[in-house]
Chains A and B, each alone.
Chain A
């Protein structure tokens, strides 16, 4: 046996054949990710390039008020004669921006705090109690308070939605860190004299990526919904911005006579959030190893 120990041993070939498929490749094989992603791409293209081809969403046209779809514009006009189609397209921009910014900010801040809370015991209690506190603030109340303080801007809306989302990310990251820090390869890195920040970035952080991608999609969906709710309540983005919530809010008074003002932004919101959540479910099925195993 000892002679075997000195001859070089080649890696097992069977194991090499598998793996080496990128994360994105694996995810796209999931039907939910594929179709949800496709719908989101279409919506994003409309949001980015749509406004170049539509009327000015702010342009008033009093002679053409409350026209049904098909006549003056594809989606009809509202009580000020503005084209609902171009307003819905502009609204898509607002929703997508809010969804994207909220999820990115929540994930980045949450990741940072979660890594620290999970790895450094002293910071854990402090950060987690702070998060418990943040979690108890309702987004809608916070939004009203912020707007009362600093006026309605897209920034305040994003801030109001982000703050209650951060603790969820922190908790998720912390739980991953708590399990990974016990892994022998992390202990081996400690023994090798690797400094804490390097251990966190090199050995711990990569384990949080997959669950975070999944969490980010859920945050994105719920942020778009919350933004619309805030707009509808009049506590959201400034009224001159045609967000889906604002359009529905303005159309509310006439909705029995002219349902299209509410219908089109509403349906767009529903489809977008649905697509985001379908992508999220699909990603969870493929990226979460515990669930992925049962799905096969």
Chain B
């Protein structure tokens, strides 16, 4: 019997939204003991589906207009709030993307799990604690007794997500809804959490509705897959059917857009040396007079070289220091010691005034397309700002900006518009145009495609590669995504905890990783089969 049956569900968006319905005619079911992955790009309605099932969707903004949602045969669309609350604890559990915000920061995690039992059962305090410890054991948390009285900020991201899973599962619900539960985690942690969800699901025979945007994760975990686009399910089937032989063009496009883990053959770059660092170190904090202060070594003795026409990738997990390297090179922060050589000249210790002429040579594209452009200034104003700082006349700068808009695949009249009128991918193109307007020699892309949907990501990657060739740029490409790195980088540099652990031509590193950490990283990348 199906645990969850969603039949022809349509949910209306408030008036004035970009489309009338958040989801339209969605029909799906989750059987006992299976994992259904709902996959789609942002705005596809996958989260609305999950929230509707949980009864968590704000009914004033998102009104279900037709269809039904049946949980173990019980209709939940027209049930009372009190009954819904009961169902949410006992029959379905939910885990969210960001475990830090889903947990209450001022309560001990053990007590937060215990609260579920307090509300839904009449167990005594001692029994509750026993159950909580058992639940924490279930999700393989180390030392549950000690962890019971930890606060969320004392745990790592992976541990917090385990706590969330333990909480969702304390009452042994039949249905687990997971909304992008591993998106905020590092790749190695993600692999562990995915394995855990799969393991628990098998042991307890639950049904899992797993929402994700990542086809790698789908390949790892799914039994069946539903692909959503613009609020509709466009394809549904077993994981093999959908991944191996997709029927719908959109699914085909999505799967094709997932970068391959196998790096293509690339000729070694022979251009002149554009950028190099020598023993670059960044230390935060100071030991203080007594040597008792806290010191964080964010970057330790990094040496790198990028030639013109070459892309060097820096890969690593969060906290590895990869962005700090970029910011030191950009001189957005001052390196503690070491040299940053641009065209042979050390800029690491230059004062702001002496640095200004060098700023032209090196430009950056940031991760978050929504914060990279000043919302109050037109695209044109943002693009000409840099060149005009260096004495180029308005007319000339604007002509050049219009030309660059064509280079990045936007129409020149976009210059008169404001950033909020563009999508994330378009804004990232604008940021690339802004960087190119300075006629730089070196372009740093700091997680420049990480916030984008996979289809848009592929386009922006193509664009970055195009401009690298066209302008003979030395590119420093910083990413946590090994698939992206495989496709765009000539050489890569793997960082862990501020140190470079391995460096070499991309194909060599992927084929035969030397360092243990690199091997772990490559192994953890989801969807090796894709």
Among A1, A10, A15, A187, contact of B332 (Cβ-Cβ < 8 Å): A187
Residue of B nearest to A206 (CB): B376
* A193 interface residue per 8 A CB criterion: yes
Does more than half of chain A's interface fall in helix, strand or loop, or is it mixed? helix
- Identify 4 new A-B residue pairs, CB closer than 8 A, beyond the known A1-B256, A184-B366, A188-B431: A9-B410, A12-B421, A188-B373, A203-B374
A1–B455 CB distance below 8 A: yes
Judge if A294 is at the interface, Cβ distance under 8 Å: no
B232 partner residues in chain A, CB cutoff 8 A: none
- Interchain CB contact under 8 A, A4 and B459: yes
The listed residue (B332, B385, B411, B459) touching A8 by CB distance below 8 A is B411
- Residues on A with C-beta less than 8 A from B459 are 1-2, 4-5
Question: In the complex, how many angstroms separate the beta carbon of A296 from the nearest chain B beta carbon?
Answer: 10
Contacts of B406 in A (CB 8 A): 8
A71 within 8 A of B: no
In the complex, are the beta carbons of A193 and B18 less than 8 A apart? Answer: no
Q: Bound complex: CA of A185 vs CA of B368, how far in Å?
A: 10
Contacts of A187 in B (CB 8 A): 330, 332, 364, 366
Minimum CB–CB distance for A111 against chain B, Å: 17
Q: Are A191 and B359 in contact (CB under 8 A)?
A: yes
Contact B18 A189 (CB under 8 A): no
The answer to whether A15 touches B372, judged by C-beta atoms less than 8 angstroms apart, is no
Q: How far is the CA of A188 from the CA of B332 in the complex (A)?
A: 9
Within 363-410 of B, Cβ neighbours of A (below 8 Å) are at 363-364, 366-368, 371-374, 376-377, 382, 385-386, 389-390, 406, 409-410
- Which 9 pairs across A and B sit closest by C-beta, in order of nearness? A192-B386, A8-B411, A14-B18, A184-B366, A11-B421, A184-B372, A193-B359, A193-B389, A185-B374
B360 and A193 within 8 A (CB): yes
Chain A residues with CB under 8 A of B417: 11, 16
A-B contact list, 9 entries, CB within 8 Å: A1-B459, A1-B462, A5-B463, A9-B429, A15-B421, A185-B372, A185-B382, A187-B364, A191-B359
**Least Cβ–Cβ distance between B255 and chain A, in angstroms:** 12
A56 within 8 A of B: no
Tell me the residues in window 211-234 of chain A with beta carbons closer than 8 Å to chain B beta carbons.
none
Task: For B330, give the chain A residue with the smallest CB separation.
Answer: A191
Q: Which residues of A contact B368 (CB under 8 A)?
A: 184
Which chain A positions have C-beta within 8 A of B363? 191-192
User: Which partner residue on chain B sits nearest A195 by CB separation?
Assistant: B389
Q: Contact check: which of A11, A16, A194 meets B385 at CB < 8 Å? A: A194
Q: Do residues A193 and B376 form an inter-chain contact, with CB atoms below 8 A?
A: no
A293 CB–B CB distance under 8 Å: no
Whether B360 and A5, one on each chain, are in contact in the complex, defined by CB atoms closer than 8 angstroms, is: no
Per-position 1/0 for A15-26, Cβ under 8 A of B: 110110000000
The answer, yes or no, to whether B160 is at the interface (CB within 8 Å) is: no
Does A132 lie at the interface of the complex (its beta carbon under 8 Å from any beta carbon of B)?
A: no
Taking a contact as CB atoms closer than 8 A, the residue among A18, A188, A193 that contacts B372 in the complex is A188
Given A2-B462, A12-B421, A193-B356: A188 touches B411 (CB 8 Å cut-off): no
Interface check B434, CB cutoff 8 A: yes
Cβ–Cβ < 8 Å partners of A202 in chain B: 374, 377, 385
What separation, in Å, do the CA atoms of A192 and B363 have in the docked complex?
8
Contact of B426 among A9, A189, A203 (CB under 8 A): A9
Write the chain A residue with the least CB distance to B362.
Answer: A191
Interface residues of A in 148-202 (CB under 8 A from B): 183-185, 187-195, 202
Q: How far is the CB of A255 from chain B (nearest CB, A)?
A: 52
Interface status of A136 (Cβ within 8 A of chain B): no
Is B262's CB within 8 Å of the partner chain A? no
B422 within 8 A of A: yes
* A16 in contact with B332 given A184-B366, A185-B372 (CB within 8 Å): no
Closest chain A residue to B372, Cβ basis: A184
Check if A191 sits within 8 Å of B364, measured CB to CB.
yes
B438 CB contacts on chain A under 8 angstroms: 192-193
Does A7 count as interface, using CB distance less than 8 angstroms? yes
Q: CA separation between A111 and B18, bound complex, in Å?
A: 39
Residue numbers of A with Cβ under 8 A of B are 1-2, 4-12, 14-16, 18-19, 183-185, 187-195, 202-203, 206
Smallest Cβ-Cβ distance to B376: which chain A residue: A206
Indicate the member of B16, B409, B418, B423 with the most A CB atoms within 10 Å.
B409
B458 sits at the interface (CB 8 A) = yes
Rounded to whole Å, the gap between the CB of A84 and the closest CB of chain B is: 50
Is B184 part of the contact surface with A, judged by Cβ < 8 Å?
A: no
Could you tell me the distance in whole angstroms from the C-beta of A141 to the nearest C-beta in chain B?
39
Q: Name the CB-closest residue of A to B355.
A: A193
> Contact at A183–B371, with CB atoms within 8 Å?
yes
How many angstroms from the CA of A1 to the CA of B409 in the assembled complex? Answer: 12
B359 near A8 (CB under 8 angstroms)? no
Select the residue from A8, A12, A191, A203 with max chain B CB neighbours within 10 A: A191
Give Cα distance in the complex from A185 to B374, angstroms.
6
Q: B389, A192: Cβ atoms under 8 Å?
A: yes
**Interface presence of B522 (CB below 8 A):** no
In the complex, which residue of chain A has the Cβ closest to the Cβ of B408? A5
Q: How far is the CA of A202 from the CA of B455 in the complex (A)?
A: 35
Cα distance, A18 to B420, chains bound together (Å) = 10
Instruction: Specify the chain A residue showing the minimal Cβ separation from B61.
Output: A296
For B332, list chain A residues within 8 Å (CB).
187, 190-191
The chain B residue sitting closest to A182, CB to CB, is B371
Chain A positions within 8 Å of B462 at CB level:
1-2, 5
State in angstroms the CA–CA spacing of A257 and B364 once bound together. 77
Q: Is the CB of B421 within 8 A of A6?
A: no
* A18 nearest in chain B by CB position: B16
For B364, the chain A residues whose CB sits under 8 A away are: 187-188, 191
> Which chain A residue lies CB-closest to B369?
A184
Once the chains bind, are A8 and B410 in contact (CB under 8 Å)?
yes
CB neighbours (8 Å) of B420 from chain A are: 15, 19
Given A192-B359, A193-B389, A7 and B409 touching (CB < 8 A)?
yes
The interface residues of chain A lying within 8 Å CB-to-CB of B389 are 192-195
**B257 interface residue, CB < 8 Å from A?**
yes
Closest to B367 in A: A184
Complexed CA–CA distance, A193 and B429 (Å): 21
Tell me, yes or no, whether B414 is within 8 Å of chain A by CB: yes
A254 to chain B, nearest CB (A): 57
**Cα–Cα, bound, A254→B153 (Å):** 65
Question: Could you tell me the distance between the alpha carbons of A82 and B229 in the complex, rounded to whole angstroms?
Answer: 79
Interchain CA distance A190-B334 in the complex, whole Å: 13
Q: A18: which B residues are within 8 A, CB to CB?
A: 16
- In the complex, which residue of chain B has the Cβ closest to the Cβ of A185? B374
Given the interface contacts A187-B366, A193-B359, A193-B390, does A11 sit within 8 Å of B414 by beta carbon?
yes
A188–B362 CA distance with the chains assembled, in angstroms: 11
| Bound form: Cα–Cα A18–B422 in Å | 13
